[in-house]
Structure 1
Amino acid sequence: MVNSVNKRGEKILIGPRLRRLRTSLGLTQTRMAEDLGISGSYLNLMERNQRAVSAKVLLRLSETYDINLSALTSGTDQQLVGELFEALRDPALGRDRVPKSEVEDVVGASPATARALVNLHQRYTELSRRLVREEGADEAASALQGTVPATDLVRDVLQRARNYFDPLDRAAEDLHTELELRRTEPLTALIARMKDHHNTVVRILPNDVMVDMLRYYDRHSGRLNLSELLPASSRRFQIAFQIGMLEQRSVIDTIVERADLPTIDAKRLLRTTLANYFAAALLMPYGPFLKAAEALRYDIDALAHRFGSSAEQVAHRLTTLSRPEARGVPMFFVRIDIAGNLSKRFSQGRFVFPRFGGVCPRWAIHEAFASPDKPLVQSVEMPDGETYLTVARRVTRSGGTSSAPSQSFAIGLGCDMTHAKRLVYSDWLSGNPMPIGPNCYLCEREACPQRAHPPLGRALAHDERARGLSQFAFAPDH
């Protein structure tokens, strides 16, 4: 016997499916009501989910139209619900979130429409990836300005400026000279600057006081609190950052205003990025740093010792040497976590990091987590035939304890092979360059055994007779 409730004791409401059945049969409400022996008003209420379908009506539907009852009474397609729910959480749709209950209503009422929306979102995502295939393309930035995350918007600003901001760099160099940081202990001089010019005391506080924080500036009480977990290089950097926020705010705000970013989040992130830039330039002033970099052949560790900075701070600074009258080696930079997520990137020349996906698995940067004590030097060749010298190494964030270890990242730094001889790492090269690509979405190396995805826009062509090195085969382009 057919029950008018489902297994969970809920009344069976099948209005949208009942309406689709009627329209697919080409029937009016009056005609179907006559076939089922019910009133037209009752059928209308059932189609609008204002009345549950009875067991008697279900049996009559099955007998009259020769249909399987499960086609009418089965539950909502939960996989489709999940896909649509994920699509509707895309930041491109704004801050409003569609509750899952409403998504279930849409799928239940019109699964074809729901599937069309999911397919539309998938096509939108693919189009977005194609638009940003060439890093920094103005057309792509304009088309996606409302959807690109704040981090990507700020990266675009850095790319357009070649990661060099002359007013901040020269102001930092002047302050470095004024504070005589080459002759005095930088930490002492920076603490004195905060006290004398900003009436602010720098305090080093215990970890259990600075819970989940490494720096906190309290303007009203005149205190800059730093966590004891910060090493000396990071303490200097955090104080220099705060000096930048206080003394260069008008310069920073001018750069932010000219960037014309579309969101508050992006403006705040750029402001913080520029203060970090100033801090690095204060501790590693352009002229002396470039001179040392050339003399030491861009040895990251040697530069870190000379300027009392971390390896990651030095690597960042090496990407900023773009002063027109005194340029350093053009360097690109990337940082990934152990899962391959790309958290920082700066492209240079033809070496372009894509917005979507990770970096090529054949690049040695992934091996840095297993070789923490030495840099990994590698020459690589991109699909366009250009070759590059790259060096990768693991770095560890400040703030770790035995119970809560620090985050580890791998950073990669590199340059065009035409500049390789100026870097000490070129002495370590041997063998032929490793063929790599931007990432699997954009790489056209079809036979790569490490490929995880087919390239965007390429159709698969499976050959049942053979199995190649790659798990993917592609139809030829036309």
Structure 2
Amino acid sequence: MADPKLFAGHAIRRLRRQLGLNQVTMAQALAVSPSYLNLVERNQRPISATLMLRLAQSYDFDPRQLAASEPGGGAEALRRRLADPIFADLEIDRHQMEEWLAGAPGGAEAFARAYDRIGGGAGPVARPYDAGWQVRREIERWRNHFGDLDAKAEALADELRIAAGDLYGAMAERLRVKHQLSVRILPADVMPDLTKRLDLHARQIQLSEMLDMSGRSFALGELLAQEARGEIDALVKGAGFDRAAERLYRRHLGGYFAAAVMMPYARFLRACEASGYDLELLQRRFGASFSQVAHRLTTLQRVGARGLPFFLLRVDRAGQVSKRYAGASASPLAEGPGTCPLWNIFEAFARPDELLTQLLELEDGSRWFTLARGVRPQGVSRGVPARFAVGLGVSANDARTLAVAAGHDLAGRAMPVGLGCRACTRPDCPQRSAPPAGRAMLVAERERGVSPIAFAGD
């Protein structure tokens, strides 16, 4: 799969200004023409691999900063914010968006920060300075791929494989020898409300017996993330969070490292491509749960070795979203203000042991192939009815390589869905529960349509 073109002229312009150079001087150092550099800075030309290499050689510049420093997360992230109904009358198209990013990257970043800070797009329960919102925005800024953590975890995984064939046993031994921490499995009645506890006085990692082996391995992997403390500290420092958001971000990065140890990047990607992204096979091969594999699929964005750009959404029975990762997919389904009941992710609660598939089409014409499955939180007693549904998806164009998509007509009829009734303007939806934001409800005395709620047009 071809890598997408990278437009990050704002980052080049900022570097040049920080160095006090004009375009002619920098162009000479990079062995390109000033006119070409000008086009790159204005996002009218993508940044080539050759140019990235020359930047790294000439200015000790880390090329990863190009993707990680896009104002507001880049054009797609800004487009998702502008999809909010309050901007519906502005009709800002993609060309205007690109001009905005090229001409006023600082203004685009300022808009994104202001919109995020007031809780825009997160619904009526959003709060200013919400830690979860801040952390999710930072994760999406990196497209949920942290190359330094992956490299560190991959090296550790190789060491553990050499030491023993049993990953869990190798991790426990690593913690015992290198960190002087022993592992103890405790009965559920001793840890009724906890799945993991670190007792530094006893130098013990205490795990609930309710955790399955994938959960136990993940818990030990999180503890081993202390071996990537330098990389994690650098990421946290770069985010500039307050204390609450910093702790939440560290937790995410620790979980990312744990998953990367269990599913090392290169081996996991090879297994994905060889199996057609067969989730059950991946679970068994890497000793991971469905949720762990699903999360890992959203992170495969290593330069030169990218996986399919999956997005992920986790919802409860009430439709509340507790996890969402758009990754490199830029899917509105992962970032929209609401969810659509016509998406079969909600059927997963009634059919928890099945992997459900569906072809969706949004109002903008984009088509997405999705997979959904019910999951139970780790460590929860069978008597507690806690359950979530995890939805994964990729563009229909990318789904052709999926084993589970075999036999599906990806160019055929798709289920028309929206991003929640308040953001959806489909007039004939039989599932509608509210008119779109900014549209007046219409009540006719002599007729009634397929949709239970009619509304005024533009």
TM-score (norm 1): 0.69
User: SS at the partner of 1:343?
Assistant: strand
Give the match's secondary structure for 1:334: strand
Which letter does structure 1 place at the counterpart of 2:425? Answer: E
Residue segments in structure 1 that go unaligned for 5+ positions in a row? 1-126
Match of 2:299?
320
Match of 1:145 in 2: 117
Per the TM alignment, residue 461 of structure 1 is displaced from its structure 2 partner at its CA by 2.6
Call closer, same or farther: CA 1:162–1:202 in 2, change over 3 Å.
same
Are 1:132 and 1:355, in contact at CA under 8 Å, matched by a contact in 2? no
How many angstroms does 1:453 deviate by?
1.9
- Which residue of 344, 354, 372 maps to 1:364? 344
Instruction: Quote the offset at 1:148 in angstroms.
Output: 4.7
Decide whether aligned partners of structure 1 residues 354 and 321 sit closer, same or farther in structure 2, where only a CA change above 3 A counts: closer
Partner AA of 2:213 in structure 1: A
Off by >4 Å, runs of 4+ in structure 1: 127-134, 354-357
Hey, what does 1:161 align to over in structure 2? 142
**AA in 1 matched with 2:392:** L
The residue matched to 1:388 in structure 2 has which SS? strand
1:258 pairs with 2:238: yes
* 1:305 Cα deviation after fit: 0.4
Letter in 1 for 2:227: E
Amino acid in the other structure paired with 1:163: N
Which structure: larger Rg? 1
Q: For 1:235-274, what aligned pairs fall within 5 Å after superposition?
A: 235-244=216-225, 246-261=226-241, 263-274=242-253
SS of the residue corresponding to residue 420 of structure 2 reads coil
| Residue in structure 2 matched with residue 345 of structure 1 by the alignment | 324
Q: What is the distance in 2 between the residues matched to 1:363 and 1:181?
A: 45
Q: Is the 8 A contact 1:335 1:345 kept in 2?
A: yes
CA contact (8 A) 1:176 1:285 kept: yes
Looking at structure 2, the residues matched to 291 and 279 of structure 1 have their Cα atoms a distance apart, in angstroms, of 19
**Shift in CA distance, 148/357, structure 1 to aligned 2, threshold 3 Å:** farther
> Is residue 149–residue 228 contact of structure 2 (8 Å, CA) maintained in 1?
yes
Counterpart in 2 of 1:443?
424
Q: Distance in 1 between matches of 2:87 and 2:313?
A: 18
> Does the CA-based 8 Å contact 1:377-1:428 persist in structure 2?
no
Give the 3 Å change call, closer, same or farther, for CA 267–353 of structure 1 in structure 2.
farther
Shift of residue 130 of structure 1?
Answer: 4.6
Q: 1:467 aligns with which of 437, 448, 453?
A: 448
Measure the CA separation in 2 of the matches of 1:356 and 1:321: 22
Shift of 1:355: 5.9
Any residues of structure 2 matched to 1:131-280 within 5 Å, and which? 138=109, 139-145=111-117, 147-180=128-161, 184-244=165-225, 246-261=226-241, 263-280=242-259
Aligned pair count reads 347
The Cα of 1:131 is off from its aligned counterpart by: 6.7
In the other structure, the counterpart of 2:274 is 295
Aligned-partner residue type, residue 400 of structure 1: V
Once the two structures are superposed, residues 322-368 of structure 1 have per-residue CA deviations (whole angstroms, 9 ceiling, x without a partner) of 00110000101101111211111112434214667541100010111
Change (3 A) 1:353 1:214: same
Amino acid at match of 1:256: V
Percent pairwise identity: 42
Residues 162 and 144 of structure 1, relative CA distance in 2, 3 Å threshold: closer
Higher relative contact order (CA 8 A, sep 6+): 2
In the TM superposition, what are the counterparts of 1:308-457 in structure 2 within 5 Å? Answer: 308-347=287-326, 348-353=328-333, 358-402=338-382, 404-405=383-384, 407-429=386-408, 432-457=413-438
Q: Please show how residues 42-57 of structure 1 align to structure 2 within 5 Å.
A: none
Distance (Å, rounded) in 2 between the aligned partners of 1:229 and 1:398:
7
The answer to whether the 8 A contact 2:443-2:454 is kept is yes
Distance 1:132 1:207 in 2: 51
Partner secondary structure for residue 324 of structure 2: strand
Any idea what SS the aligned residue of 1:210 has? Answer: coil
Helix, strand or coil at the partner of 1:450: coil
Distance 1:368 1:131, change over 3 A: same
Cα distance in 2, alignment partners of residues 260 and 398 from structure 1: 31
C-alpha deviations, 1:55-94, integer Å up to 9, x for none? xxxxxxxxxxxxxxxxxxxxxxxxxxxxxxxxxxxxxxxx
Q: TM-score, normalised by structure 2?
A: 0.72
Deviation at 1:451, TM superposition (A): 1.2
CA distance in 2, matches of 1:170, 1:272: 19
CA RMSD, Structure 1 to Structure 2 (Å): 2.3
Contact 1:378–1:429, Cα closer than 8 Å, also in 2: no
In the aligned structure 1, how far is the partner of 2:310 from the partner of 2:163? 26
Q: 1:400 to 1:196 in 2, by over 3 A?
A: same
Structure 2: distance between partners of 1:438 and 1:182: 49
Q: Which runs of 5+ in 2 are unaligned?
A: 1-81, 93-107, 119-127
How far apart, CA to CA, are the structure 2 residues paired with 1:232 and 1:226?
Answer: 11
Query: Residues 186 and 264 (structure 1 numbering): CA distance in 2 closer, same or farther, change over 3 Å?
Result: same
Letter in 2 for 1:466: E
Q: Which moved more, 1:428-437 or 1:446-455?
A: 428-437
